[in-house]
């Protein structure tokens, strides 16, 4: 009987004024971090940009 690996879900927020190149860099760093810990990205989904309920300071 095979043991099914544990699956995790994560969400990260980035500044709204970030460039597409910097966003790609962040995405690559997240993928490298997951792979560096023997993980595997099954799916990546970019959500639509939206306003938060309130402004986050600093």
Q: Is the pTM of this model over 0.85?
A: no
> What is residue 44's predicted lDDT score, i.e. its pLDDT?
86
C-alpha span between 49 and 21 (Å, rounded):
16
CB-based contact 42:7 (threshold 8 Å): yes
Each residue's pLDDT tens digit, 24-47: 999 999 999 999 998 988 888 888
**Which among 20, 12, 19 is positioned nearest to 47, based on CA atoms?**
12
The percent of the chain in helix, strand and coil, each rounded to the nearest 5, is 30, 0, 70
pLDDT value at 12 more than 80: yes
C-alpha span between 49 and 20 (Å, rounded):
13
């Amino acid at each position: 009987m095979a043991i099914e690996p544990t699956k995790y879900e994560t969400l990260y927020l980035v500044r709204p004024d970030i460039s597409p190149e910097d966003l790609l860099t962040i995405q690559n760093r997240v993928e490298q971090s997951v792979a560096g810990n023997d993980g595997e990205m099954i799916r990546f989904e970019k959500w639509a940009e939206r306003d938060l309920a309130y402004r986050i300071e600093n």
